[in-house]
Amino acid sequence: MSSIYATEAPRLQKYFRARLRGGDEAPDLVQEAFARLLGVMARERPQRPAAYLQRIARNLLFNRSKRLENQLAPDHVFFDDGYEHATAPMQSDHIEVEDMMRIYRRALSELPERTRQIFLLHRVDELTYREIGERLGVSIPTVQYHVARALAHIDAALEQE
């Protein structure tokens, strides 16, 4: 694990900083990614830990975006003189989240139907590869292929923006 950390931690720092304006959260996200990888490695042995770690990193960013989106959509808005000034930083975060979600939705819509279906079953419905395979009558490697293909397409779309 120490060799993976030595090679991947700096790369993840750069990855998170590139996607987060300012990047103050990058060290925390790197730590969280490795903590999740350790949790996975306690149960199973990923064939390509570095690739698995990258997937964890993408998921952390996506989850962060969703969390920010939920935080920035208050149920009630209170108006006072200081409101506009207090929300200026939040507005830029909200714009960033909206941009990421727009790119994500567009990338999803560009996927072949089967790939999109498998990806959404895994990420939204939180089904395991085995459950998806049984439901759709396909092998686990086929499910893995489609999820990886979807992630690669979404990652490429986010990279282009």
Kindly give the confidence (pLDDT) of every residue in the chain, 161 residues in length, as a single tens digit, with 9 standing for 90 and above.
678 888 888 888 888 888 887 667 888 888 888 888 877 777 778 788 888 888 888 888 888 877 776 666 555 454 444 444 444 545 555 566 677 778 888 988 999 999 999 988 988 788 899 999 999 999 999 999 998 898 888 888 877 76
What is the dotted CATH code of the domain comprising 90-161? 1.10.10.10
pLDDT at 97: 66
pLDDT at 131: 93
Within 13 Å and on the Cβ side, how many CA atoms surround 59?
Answer: 18
Q: Per-domain residue ranges for the chain?
A: 1-70, 90-161
Confirm if 94 and 72 have CB atoms less than 8 A apart: yes
pLDDT at 73: 55
- pTM, two decimals, is 0.45
Using the Cα atoms of residue 63, residue 69, residue 71 and residue 74 in order, give the sign of their dihedral: negative
**One-character DSSP codes across 8-68:** HHHHHHHHHHHHSSS-TTHHHHHHHHHHHHHHHHHH---S-HHHHHHHHHHHHHHHHHHHH
Helical pair 49-71 and 140-160, crossing angle rounded to 10 deg: 60
